Structure 1
Amino acid sequence: MSEHRFTLENTSTGTTPAAARTPHYPHSLRYEKPAGSARTSPEGHTLRALSDLTVVTCACGLTTPALPNDDARLVYEEHRNLIRDETA
């Protein structure tokens, strides 16, 4: 056997250690449920239960207000497509 031991430092293509490199993927897209029980209008009427609402967030800075689930899904899919186009 060879006396040369395989290490990760020997496989690095650049001069920067792997721990010091910037992340290649600045996104972390996810759904979140807002806190609280219900929203009310200025007149005191319940508008929609917060369980029907979703916030879309991403590590790149995207944060939507509480949206109906269908609208939140559209925002999520649009941003996911932008991420895909960025990485292609």
Structure 2
Amino acid sequence: MSQDRFTLETTGAAIAPAAVRPHHNLHNLRYKKPTEAARTSPEGHTLRALSDLTVVTCACGLTTPALPNDDARLAYEQHRNEIRDEMA
């Protein structure tokens, strides 16, 4: 083995410092199916079937109410674009 220690300075690699790089675990965007309790509204009206509803969640705190699948997809895409813009 060589006595020389491997360092980034000796390789010439250009890596941004940790303070400059974005924190990748800040977001964790996910689709979730609502629980059985979300099936009825506070007024007692029956809502759509659970298979028609989706909740969008993210580690940054985003949690949508149970939305129709198309609306949930739009909310997901909008937040994904915000994440992309935040990282740029």
**CA deviation vs aligned residue, 1:45-67 (integer Å, no higher than 9, x gap):** 53310111000000000000100
Matches within 5 A, 1:1-88: 1-6=1-6, 24-25=23-24, 26-36=26-36, 39-40=39-40, 42=43, 46-88=46-88
Equivalent position amino acid for 1:24 in 2: H
> Following the alignment from structure 1 to structure 2, what is the Cα–Cα distance between the partners of residues 69 and 79?
15
> Following the alignment from structure 1 to structure 2, what is the Cα–Cα distance between the partners of residues 57 and 40?
21
Percent identity (aligned): 77
**CA deviation vs aligned residue, 1:3-26 (integer Å, no higher than 9, x gap):** 2354xxx55x8xxxx9xxxx7121
Of Structure 1 and Structure 2, the greater strand share is in 1
| Structure 1 stretches of 4+ moved >4 Å | none
Aligned length: 79
Give the C-alpha shift of residue 36 in structure 1.
1.2
Question: Which one has more relative contact order, counting CA pairs under 8 Å at least 6 apart?
Answer: 2
Q: What is the Cα-based RMSD across aligned positions, in Å? A: 2.9
What TM-score results when the alignment is normalised by the length of structure 2?
0.69
> Following the alignment from structure 2 to structure 1, what is the Cα–Cα distance between the partners of residues 57 and 84?
16
Structure 2, unmatched stretches of 5+, are 9-14
What TM-score results when the alignment is normalised by the length of structure 1?
0.69
What SS does structure 2 have at the residue aligned with 1:46? coil
Of Structure 1 and Structure 2, the greater helix share is in 2
What SS does structure 2 have at the residue aligned with 1:54? strand
